[in-house]
Every structure is written in C-alpha cells, then in structure tokens.
Chain A
Amino acid sequence: MNSDSEVIPIETDVLVIGGGLAGCMAGIKASEYGVKVTIAEKANTLTSGCAGTGIDHTWAYIPPIHEKMGWCIEDLMEDHIQGIAHGFINKELLYLVASENYERVLDLEKFGVNFRFDDSKVPGKFRIVPQFHSVPSSFNFDGRPIKVKLTKEAERRGVNIINRVMITDLLSTDGHVSGALGVGTRDGKFYSFKSKAVVLCTGRVNRLSRIVSGVWGNHRLPVYETGDGRTMALRAGVPIINTEFFSPALFMIGNYEISFGVPRAEVQPAGSITGPNGEIIVPRTYFYDWENLGKEKWTSEVRRKWMAQRRADRPPYPEMYKQGKGPFYLDLTGGTEEEIKYAEWSVSNEGDGFRFLDYLKNQEKFDFRKDKIELLPNSREMAGTAASGLAVNKDLETELKGLFAAGDEVGGLPWQASSGAFTMGWHAGEMAAKQTREQKGFLPVGEEKLASLRELCADMLSSKEGLHWGEVELAVQNIVDYYAGDVRAEEMLKRGIERLDDIKGNISFRAENTHELVRCLEVRSVIDNAVMVMRTSLERKESREVPFKFYRADFPEQDDENWLSFLALKLEEGAFKFSKIPIK
C-alpha cells in the first residue's frame, strides 16, 4: 500500500458496519425491503464478533411458558430494571428487547439454529437455566455455528458481505449520514462507501487495559473489537454515553480468561464455589423445579428482596480476596453424571469454550468429577453491565439522521447480551431500510476526509521515527489502569488526561505493511476510547457502586438527585461537550 493506493467506490442503500450478531441480523432484515444492503466487516463474518466462535445463551419473554405461569413482559422488564440495572437503564429500548426476542429466536430457528432439546422437561423443549433474571427467561441453544448460519442466510438473501475492510470514518452531509471510509486490511486499498443509511455494529472496546496473564490477546472478550464505531461516531459529532463505567476485573476462570457465559462464574447445574478447605462460598445451582415453578407469583417486592439476599450472601471475590479468604475454586464434584455432561456441553458451546474444554480434557487431563479449577482475576473490561455506547432514540437512530446503531454499539442497556444483538440488529435493519426508500439519490460526499485518511496512512507507512502499535497500546493501557482504575479522583484523572493528550498529540505510529497499519488504526481507536473513559470519569461527580463499581474518592456517595442520568459526551468543533440525559 502506498499514498496513491487505489480507491474502491461502493454505492449501497444500507451500509452495515460490523458483521457480528447485530450486524448480520440488521443486514438480513434490511434485505426484505428491496434495497441494496452491504455489510463491511473488519475480519470475516464467519468468525467475527463476540459470538464468533459460538454463543450458547440468550434471554427472552417466552409466551408459551411465561403466560401459563402468569408472568407478563412487564414482570420480566422490572426484573431486569431492578435486579440488573438498578434503575439505570433505557426502558424504551429494554421493552424492544424483552418483547421481540422470542420472535427473533423463531427466526433464528428458520436459519437453522437449534433451540429445542428432546431431554427438556419444559414447554417448547427449551433448555431453560437460572441466569439473568428471577423470571426463568434464559435458555441455552446450539450456538457454536451461529455465525456460519447467519452468514449463509445473509448471502442467500443477496446481502453483499465485504470482509477484511476496517471502516475508520463516517461521512455526513448537512446533518445526514452519507457514507463511510475504510481501509482494506489485506489489499491496502481505500474503500469509499456512499450510502443512504448506516447501521453501526462494531461492538465493544476490549483493549483498554493490560491483560493480567501477560499473554497479549488473552482476554475474555475478543481483542479485535477496539471500539472503532464509538470513535468514528464521536468524530462525526454523535453523543456517546456511559463510557465512564469501565469496570474492574472479575474473578473467573483466570489465566485462560473464559467466562462460561455465566455471571459470578457459576456453572449450571451443579457448580458451586468452594474455599481453600472445601468450605462452600456459593452453593451449587440447580435446574428449575418445573413442577412447582409459577405457583407463587413473584411480586417486585419479593424479587427485590431475593436480589438483595443474593448480594448479601457473600461479598464480591476481589473483596474476599483482599480479606485473605482465597483461594476460590469452581467445584462441580457434587454433580451427577447427567449434570456434568450437561455442564460440559454448555461450556463447549460458547466462545472459546469449545477449545477450552478440549484443552482441559486433553492437555490437563481434567475431570469435573474430582478436580476443581481455581478462580483468578480476569482482565478489566468495558463490560456488558457498563452499557456504554451511542445515544439512540427508540428506533435506534442517533442524532445524525440515517445513522443507526445496534447490539453492543448502543448505550443505556445493561446486559442486553445476545438478546439485544438479535432484536436491535433486526429493528435497526428494518428502520434503516425503510428510511432509504424515501431518499431518491445519494448525497454528495466531500473529498476532504478521504484525503486526510490517505495522509494518515501514508504517514504511518513512511514513518522512520514512529512507534510500533504495541508499544503505544501498552503505554495507553498503563495510563488507563493507573488513573482510571478502581479509584478515581479529580486531580488524578486530570493528570491521566494530560498524559493521554500528550501521546495523542506527539506520538506517531510506524507501520511496516498493511497488516501493521490496521493495528495502528485500531490503537488510534483505543486511544480515543481511553480519552472518553477518562473525560467522562472526571465529569461524573458521584460514585455508583451497583452495578457499575464506579468509585470517585472525592465524591464517595451515590447522588441520585443530580446523577441518575446517562452522561453524554460529544465533540463540537473540536471541543468535548457533556450533557445529562435523564433516565425516564
């Protein structure tokens, strides 16, 4: 690649940026409206996104089960609002997810994903597990090949999938999105898209913090997600919310950094957490007792008490560790054969779990019937709990007309998980496609941004004094970990921002080839995301322990009167502007 690399012009009615679960769903749905749909993907949709190598769980309101039990959608919503988000949630978006995910599950079945199991004792043959809510909303499925099936469905419908293109910039014309620019990660060409609507689905930012094991890339979440969407949206003047809630580390299957897809590292069924002498710290879980379930309706009062009790039963692992109470072990030794078989199926069906189980059994000769795995700290992350992302309206459209977002790109919805990707992707695809039908031609696109992207890449590729991307990334991670760690305070954050600005303003990158150029562009995203974390951490003048673990030493109390709001950050003429979006 060189400074006069070829430009590939592409015109498409709907451009989906990022082909993970949300992006594939958006592309599939948009294709139903007779418009031209393109998915631009940095890697390959067959294995990209958080579910690239599989996902085994989702949550939904399931009418055939829940209606029979006397539960309505509002019960499930209240469970999520109280138990997971502690009131800190966009309720309109939550309704979209809670009310539509069952229909999306039925659609996914049509695309060949299996959700039903003959050994299930539950109506509809779902494998329901106790997970997200007190309402039995969560269920396992055969999701290891889901990205293959979604890719095939999108292709069958004529969606144009362009793999190996990293989008770096959004284009806008008079307050309306008009396209995007990207770099081919292998061919080194520039890609210039003209489009009538854009659905942004690039996921989370997973490289803000050092990896605890010291093995680069060994994160619970895929490290190819570098918050590219948030940075291009920020530069396009779109507000981003909740970026201050960058979380401390979890205790999970440390070293290997795998979550088993289960909060609190509890493996169902039969997984308990035990201490150094076998004492039980968290009792083993059980499947739901379907004979008795639903006989007693949980009121919001009962649910709140149950949640509070669950939290009171034990302090978080990092706290117990500080009290010298470790080590802690994941312990399935009390499980029956049937339960252990199920647990192994569940472990191997999600994310890197397939490979993890193979490693455990073949390399370590591990046996769940007698051996235990120690829980260790995972790396810090922009967790699902944080729910940071773009500020959108109920139709998932941002302040920039024609720019939609879905899945983890959307802010304000803690633990929407795969349910959010399925429903929001679908909805955003529909809204974007419908909107493009009202627009006659493509909007004119200026050449300035392409020229500046060309210049940026040329500088990186020709630099002699510039630094390797890995060197810059480590310096940025050190700053985030020190100044925006478990404790934050005004002067510390100000110093951290100064140091980040220094790197951003004075450090240049060096790339030997196109592959390294892409890594440099990713680290540029990581720096911008780090700035967002620090700036919003400085602006939020309160602490919010649950569920965000956000602690300001100089404002140790939670201040609902002034701060029960999403904090939005946007760029206006080069300056950061903050605003509060009250939670309705």
Chain B
Amino acid sequence: MFRPVVFNEEVCNGCNTCVDICPMDILAPNPEKGKPPIVMYPEECWYGGGCWARCPLRDEGAIQIITPLPMRVSILRGDR
C-alpha cells in the first residue's frame, strides 16, 4: 500500500549502506551491481529514517522516504 523508501536510479550507486543498517531488514541488494536496493518488505518499514540519514548520497537525492498520508501531521497554517 505504501512506498516508504524510494531510490533515484540516476543518483544511487548501489553501495547498499542502507541495506546493511536497516533495523527491520526490509531492503535487499539489487542482483544487478551498482543499481539501487530492492524494497522487499515495504509494509514493515518503521519510518525511523536511518537508511536516509546514513545514505552517502542523501544530499544528492539518492534516497527518499515518502510519508504515507495517514502519517502526515496536522498543520494549522498561520496564514489562513
């Protein structure tokens, strides 16, 4: 239902740092070397963000965590 972790194939170099550290072990290395990991168990993500935080190419946009709609915070906008 959710796509918690999304990789940018153009940027991610398949270093698998995220696969090594994911505490829920939901990622697997891509059989094709140099390609982004495969999200094997998206429904088991705990949204801690370790994979994103430790990604060597985070600032370049290699990895994104998409917050599911039911998780998005309720914001009272100041300009309304």
Q: Closest residue to B80 on the A side, CB-wise? A: A371
Partner of A47 from B43, B54, B71 at Cβ < 8 Å: B54
> In chain A, residues 442-458, which have Cβ atoms closer than 8 Å to a Cβ of chain B?
none
Inter-chain pairs besides A47-B50, A215-B68, A352-B49, 11 sampled, C-beta below 8 Å = A43-B23, A44-B23, A216-B44, A222-B46, A224-B46, A354-B49, A354-B53, A363-B67, A371-B76, A373-B76, A515-B40
Contact A224 B43 (CB under 8 A): no
Interface size on A, residues (CB 8 A): 53
Q: Which residues in B have some Cβ–Cβ distance to A below 8 Å? A: 2, 20-25, 40-41, 43-50, 52-54, 65, 67-68, 70-79
Give bound CA distance, A12 to B50, whole Å: 30
Partner of A46 from B43, B46, B54, B68 at Cβ < 8 Å: B54
Q: Closest residue to A164 on the B side, CB-wise? A: B25
Give bound CA distance, A470 to B68, whole Å: 19
Mask of A332-376 contacts with B, CB within 8 angstroms, 1/0: 010000000000000000011011101110011011011111101
Q: A222-B46, A224-B23 are in contact. Are A256 and B73 (CB under 8 A)?
A: yes
Q: A43-B23, A47-B21, A255-B71 are in contact. Are A215 and B2 (CB under 8 A)?
A: yes
Give bound CA distance, A374 to B52, whole Å: 26
> Which secondary structure dominates where chain B touches chain A?
loop
Mask of A45-57 contacts with B, CB within 8 angstroms, 1/0: 0111000111000
Give bound CA distance, A374 to B75, whole Å: 6
CB distance from B71 to the nearest CB of A (A): 5
* Number of interchain pairs (Cβ within 8 Å): 127
Determine whether A400 belongs to the interface, using a CB cutoff of 8 Å to chain B: no
> In chain A, residues 424-459, which have Cβ atoms closer than 8 Å to a Cβ of chain B?
none
> Given the complex, which residues of B lie within 8 Å of A144, measured CB to CB?
53
> In chain A, residues 253-271, which have Cβ atoms closer than 8 Å to a Cβ of chain B?
253-257
Determine whether A556 belongs to the interface, using a CB cutoff of 8 Å to chain B: no
Mask of A508-545 contacts with B, CB within 8 angstroms, 1/0: 00000001001100000000000000000000000000
> Given the complex, which residues of A lie within 8 Å of B53, measured CB to CB?
53-54, 144, 354-355
Q: Closest residue to B52 on the A side, CB-wise? A: A355
Give bound CA distance, A218 to B54, whole Å: 20
Partner of A364 from B23, B52, B73 at Cβ < 8 Å: B73
Q: Which residues in A have some Cβ–Cβ distance to B below 8 Å? A: 43-44, 46-48, 52-54, 144, 164, 185-186, 213-219, 222-224, 253-257, 327, 329, 333, 351-352, 354-356, 358-360, 363-364, 366-367, 369-374, 376, 470, 515, 518-519
Give bound CA distance, A255 to B31, whole Å: 35
Contact A44 B21 (CB under 8 A): yes
Give bound CA distance, A470 to B27, whole Å: 18
Contact A374 B49 (CB under 8 A): no
Contact A351 B71 (CB under 8 A): no
CB distance from A349 to the nearest CB of B (A): 11
> Given the complex, which residues of B lie within 8 Å of A360, measured CB to CB?
73
Q: Closest residue to A370 on the B side, CB-wise? A: B78
> Given the complex, which residues of A lie within 8 Å of B22, measured CB to CB?
43-44, 47
